[in-house]
Structure 1
Amino acid sequence: MSEFLATIFPEEKNIPEQFRINETVDQREYLINGEMKIWNGNLNPVLSPVFIKEGNEYKQKVIGSTPLLTTKESLEALDAAVKAYNLGNGEWPTKSVTERIEHVEKFLVAMRAQRESVVKLLMWEIGKTLKDSEKEFDRTCDYIVDTIKAYKELDRESAKLTEDQGFMAQIRRVPLGVSLCMGPYNYPLNETFTTLIPALIMGNTVVFKPAKYGVLLIRPLIEAFRTSFPAGVINIIYGRGRETVGALMETGKIDVFAFIGTNKGANELKKLHPKSHRLKAILGLDAKNPAIVLPDADLDNAVNECITGSLSFNGQRCTALKILFVHRSVVDQFISKFNDSVKKLKPGMPWDSGAALTPLPEPGKVEYLQALVDDAKQHGAKVMNENGGAHLNSFFYPAVVYPVNAKMRLYAEEQFGPVIPIVPFDDDQEAIDYVVNSNFGQQVSIFGTTSKRIAVLIDAFSNQVGRINLNAQSQRGPDTFPFNGRKDSAEGTLSIADALRVFSIRTIVATKNIDSNKQIISNIIRNHESQFLSTDYIF
């Protein structure tokens, strides 16, 4: 392993030409009120998780920098969004559904033209493999297409008039106001856009702050945002959260808070809002998703799903399997098969063909993971796989840790990285108690074949988590499925259709069902006198 670690990071000359970053990307642009502004103040360096080998030394690659905006610029962005919304009377919130869809479609065309640039920055900024970076970009484009389709369907359903108990009415969804959208570093494009696009298409105006890591990849899209939406509808800021986002929340002018990150961060920001009852929050937060491997499980399938579930993108997913409960009767066999599968995962750089294990983008992450492993060892666990936990610079080779118990930090703490804790159990109630008493409640995966036993677990977990996976890893997709969580794991529900609903509110026009009122409604609809009250059918 020591020889392998010595060659894991490349020399500059050995990086394929098409993937090299020969010049740093020093970004000074930011977008406020439809104007591309230039920042002349301090910049924040963007460090890649990729280290470059120079002789016997390693140098972390600096790939660019982004603006360190201040409270002043952040409040300017907020003022632009507030002005564009204009208490619901602005150009954007009063546009027709068809018109807003046209703007989003225009953005999608411009976005697709930047695929190569965004994919390259995804690899360099967060260490995501070429294949997964391309998948994230393409999936995001598909999400936008499907969101447009879902919005058309939602509007068609709203185009009819309802009659009940002597009343006639039309019910439509309208925007909530000014949204603050913040995404995570692990999916800085896809998960960010799963809130940003629904917020925009429903008529909200937005202040958007890119993720802490994976921030430069938004740069190729800024011009697309600027030219695709009216001034002030989308405003993009950069900088430290305390000086930017905190100031926005303190004004009380944020109506919708869309945030994907930690529950601690969400709590701190929500507390800053002076009118919390008026703040709509859509949050995707921490998770400690367990897998439960029963004695009659198909072990080959369980291992394959748990490998992908725990180590896809190095385990840096909120939906990752972060603790494995394996029945004691099959745990030795499971670990043996699991270790064999880990050994087959190819370490490398993001652009390397077939690479599955790549460097980690978070500073201090390797040291944090090592501390978790050391803590587990102190309480009786061992690293079960060959070379498990070996590390160099930002690279950490997966560590399979067993047996894990409640005394260890790994038992309850979300590691968000390539450390796989395995807990042996004898009674199914042990696994049930873990899920019931956990602070998190996103997903759980059950592996087994006995329907009666599985049914008991399903019933035990149905009021604890947002999704129960049977003989499959935990995951977000398909995007048409609801994505939510309980406890400290989420607030609100996301999916293509659900996202449109959480970024809007139902408003109703109602009147008594008498001839004079019918005539008024008929005139408004026939003469297209109202954007809201309409029976137009969008194709």
Structure 2
Amino acid sequence: MSQTTFIPLETLFPVNASQIPAEFQIEPVHQREYLLNGEMRPWQGKLSDVYSPICMPDADGKLQRQLVGSFPVCGPEQAMEALDAAVAAYDNGRGEWPQMSVAGRIACMETFVGKMLDQRKLVISLIMWEIGKNLADATKEFDRTVKYIYDTIDTLKNMDRNSSRFRIEEGVIGQIRRSPLGVVLAMGPFNYPLNETYTTLIPTILMGNTILFKTPKHGSLLHYPLLEAFRTSFPKGVINSLYGRGADVVPPVMQSGKVNVLTLIGSSRVADELQRHHPKLNRLRSIMSLDAKNAAIILPDADLDVAVKECLLGALSFNGQRCTAIKIIWAHRSVVDAFLNRFCPEVSKLKPGMPWVDGAQITPLPEPGKTKYLADIIADAEAGGATIQNEGGGDTVASLFRPAVMYPVQEGMRLYREEQFGPVIPVVAYDDEEEFIQYLITDDHGMQASIFGTDTDAIARLIDPLVTLVSRVNINAQCQRGPDTFPFTGRKDSAEGTLSVEDALRSFSIRSAVATKDTPANKHILNEIVSQHKSEFLSTNFIF
């Protein structure tokens, strides 16, 4: 195998600000206010500095993370104020927002999108600087989020149209619509801090709920430019921002018992802890996307060109920091060498660089301790007999880490079971498909799996057991969330509830019915209420 010439990682960081293109330079954003009860509340308390994974050398030549800005570190007192504001705005379902018509809520959301678009350039820049996402992916994240909002609006219109009629069955007249659930605590992730946060935030709002929005540890600042858009687009108390350490601000909110819905995109460990704080679990609905150890299986007859391309994208898009990333590859022993011989050079070809560099595919990792963690799990696999298969794999300088392909990985190594959430790819050799099925059976996770092959009999044999073990089976394709109209969920510790455009609207609401016996007197009552628009719920209005 020919040697690949690598550019030294340390030379990829800018020496000073003048080496950063002017359009990607950023002035530190120092947030000194937060959204509470319809006001931008000034903050003079403790602050948290935000350091970018993008590094520059200090006076001694040592690479240092660069200051991007700072944001408030609120405490339990502010958290409870935010909760009280959300509770008051909901007012047991009698508040202005839950009582507003669907058309009225949609109009507010459309106003918000217009104001959100005004902040597009700054938000994209903050995504790049805060979490190291490359320009193309940061841009895609913003634009996809806007599209998601419009798709959700269109779906809600269709749902409302379908429920705008009365049903008569077994002598009963009724109208069935969807009603809000109450106060929602929404917590988003760092890896898709805008998109995945908004895939819960937007349907929650549109269905008439009120929100406490806890920003992620990494990726908090990018939400600041959008707070004013929220403030001026929705009634007071509908959206309330929650800043600070999760361990300080979330427990008292949950312990109050006033949170009706917990939505979290994060770890199952955190989810378990948060749910335990709630005193009335039967009243708490949880909608969560959690851990995943998505596995790909390469069958003996697989088209290796397809398998290599899809596994490369699936395992290493945004440095593998996706819940839907392929996190372990099972290759049949008869093709594992051929697969690695094609796959490893492609991994080594991935271009590392700063987020603004055209074509940069491997970018700085946002979590300060991530490179050490990745080195530790590589060392653990090496102690068990696995080796790095690709040239340059595991090379590290500051926050940059070259992807590493590890083989042969087996039971007992951390990489076999642990979700690495980063650019290390374990490869397992198998002899019988049953080994792969048993792995999924015994795994704590159950989000997705990918099958690579051409033999329809073999693929079919895997599909039937796999759909009972994971929520989505991909054939000759990487694991992924999209399209947003497809259900996004998981089994076991990977998810609770279902997120997609329509599923999310249903998850953050409940079916409610108004019914009466089919008599002339009752028909007269219903006709008068509907014809004179005396009720928002009982209505035959048709939203175009």
Shorter chain as normaliser: what TM range? Answer: over 0.9
C-alpha distance in 1 between matches for 2:528 and 2:487: 39
C-alpha deviations, 1:96-142, integer Å up to 9, x for none? 00000000000000000100000000000000000000000000000
Kindly indicate whether the alpha-carbon contact (under 8 Å) linking 2:30 and 2:71 is maintained by their aligned counterparts in 1.
Answer: yes
**Residue 136 of structure 2 corresponds to residue 160 of structure 1:** no
Aligned to 1:340: 345
Identity in percent: 56
Alignment counterpart, residue 361 of structure 1, candidates 362, 366, 370: 366
The amino acid across from 1:182 in the alignment is: M
- Residue number in structure 2 paired with 1:182: 187
For 2:30, the equivalent position in structure 1 comes to: 26
1:454 aligns with 2:459: yes
Of the candidates 351, 355, 358, which is equivalent to residue 356 of structure 2? Answer: 351
Cα displacement string for residues 418-473 of structure 1 (whole angstroms, at most 9, x for unaligned residues):
00000000100011111111100000000001111111100111111110000000
Instruction: Measure, in 1, the Cα distance between the counterparts of 2:441 and 2:523.
Output: 54
Separation in 2 of the partners of 1:56 and 1:208? 40
Q: 2:171 aligned with 1:171, yes or no?
A: no
1:476 is aligned with what amino acid?
R
Q: Determine whether 1:402 maps to 2:400.
A: no
CA contact (8 A) 1:27 1:64 kept: yes
Looking at structure 1, the residues matched to 38 and 193 of structure 2 have their Cα atoms a distance apart, in angstroms, of 23
Does structure 1 residue 115 correspond to structure 2 residue 137?
A: no
1:429 counterpart = 2:434:
yes
Instruction: Look up the SS of the partner of 2:78 in the other structure.
Output: helix
Aligned to 2:237: 232
User: Quick check: 1:289 aligned with 2:270?
Assistant: no
TM-score of the aligned structures, taking structure 1 as reference length: 0.99
Structure 2 CA distance, aligned partners of 1:97 and 1:3?
56
Q: Partner letter of residue 312 of structure 2?
A: I
Provide the C-alpha distance between the structure 2 equivalents of 1:313 and 1:359, rounded to a whole number of angstroms. 10
Q: Does the 8 Å CA contact 1:28/1:67 hold for their aligned counterparts? A: yes
| 1-structure distance, mates of 2:475, 2:309 | 14
Aligned counterparts of 2:529 and 2:343: Cα–Cα separation in 1:
66
In structure 2, what is the equivalent of residue 385 of structure 1?
390
Match of residue 10 from structure 1: 14
Separation of aligned partners in 2, 1:58 and 1:182 = 32
Q: What is aligned with 1:58?
A: 63
C-alpha distance in 2 between matches for 1:210 and 1:57: 31
RMSD of equivalent CA atoms: 0.9
SS state at 2:147 partner: helix
Q: Distance in 1 between matches of 2:109 and 2:6?
A: 51
In the alignment, is the contact (CA less than 8 A) between 2:187 and 2:213 conserved in 1? yes
What CA distance in whole angstroms lies between the structure 2 residues aligned with 1:124 and 1:56?
21
CA distance in structure 2 between the partners assigned to 1:277 and 1:198 by the alignment: 22
CA–CA separation in structure 2 for the residues paired with 1:459 and 1:215: 42
The count of aligned residue pairs is 538
Counterpart of 1:177 in structure 2: which amino acid? G
Q: CA deviation at 1:56?
A: 2.8
- Give the aligned residue type for 1:68: V
2:109, 2:233 within 8 Å by CA — same for their partners in 1?
yes
Cα distance, 1:3 vs structure 2: 5.7
Cα separation, 1, equivalents of 2:138 and 2:234? 26
Deviation (angstroms), 1:380: 0.5
Q: Distance in 2 between matches of 1:270 and 1:449?
A: 44
- TM-score in terms of structure 2 length: 0.98
Deviations 1:142-172, CA, capped at 9 Å, x for gaps: 0000000000000001101111111111000
Per-residue deviation, residues 31-54 of structure 1 (Å, max 9, x unmatched): 100010111011001010111134
Which residue matches 1:81?
Answer: 86
Aligned counterpart for 1:136 among listed residues 121, 129, 141? 141
Alignment correspondent of 1:35:
39
Tell me, in whole angstroms, the C-alpha distance in 1 between the residues paired with 2:125 and 2:28: 13
Q: CA deviation at 1:2?
A: 8.1
- Paired residue type of 1:433: Q
Which deviates more from structure 2 when the two are superposed, residues 338-347 or residues 278-287?
338-347
User: Which deviations, in whole Å up to 9, do the C-alpha atoms of 1:161-206 show, x marking residues without a partner?
Assistant: 1111111110000000000111000000000000000000000000
* Aligned-partner residue type, residue 352 of structure 1: V
Distance 2:63 2:387 in 1: 30
Q: Aligned partners of 1:209, 1:224: CA distance in 2, in Å?
A: 17
Assess, with a 3 A threshold, how the Cα gap between structure 1 residues 474 and 2 changes in structure 2: closer, same or farther.
closer
Which residue number in structure 2 is paired with residue 500 of structure 1? 505
- Pairwise CA distance, 1:344: 2.0
Contact 2:348 2:403 in 1 (8 A): no
State the alpha-carbon separation in 1 of the partners of residues 348 and 380 from structure 2.
24
Name the aligned partner's letter for residue 46 of structure 2. Answer: N
- Residue pair 1:436, 1:461 contacting (<8 A) in 2 also: no
Equivalent residue of 2:41, what SS?
strand
Is 1:485 the counterpart of 2:490 in the alignment?
yes
More off after superposition, 50-59 vs 132-141? 50-59
2:348 and 2:393 in contact (8 A); partners too:
no
Report whether the alignment pairs 1:443 with 2:448: yes
> Separation in 2 of the partners of 1:270 and 1:406?
31
Runs (4+) of structure 1 exceeding 6 A deviation are none
Deviates more, 1:249-258 or 1:53-62: 53-62
Which residue in the other structure is 1:102 paired with? 107
Determine the C-alpha separation between the residues in 1 that align with 2:40 and 2:512.
Answer: 35
What CA distance in whole angstroms lies between the structure 1 residues aligned with 2:188 and 2:194?
Answer: 8
3-state secondary structure, aligned to 1:170:
strand
Take 2:458 and 2:47, find their aligned partners in 1: how far apart are those partners? 57
Counterparts of 1:130 and 1:58, CA distance in 2? 22
Residue 523 of structure 1 aligns with which residue?
A: 528
Q: Unaligned stretches of 5+ in structure 1?
A: none
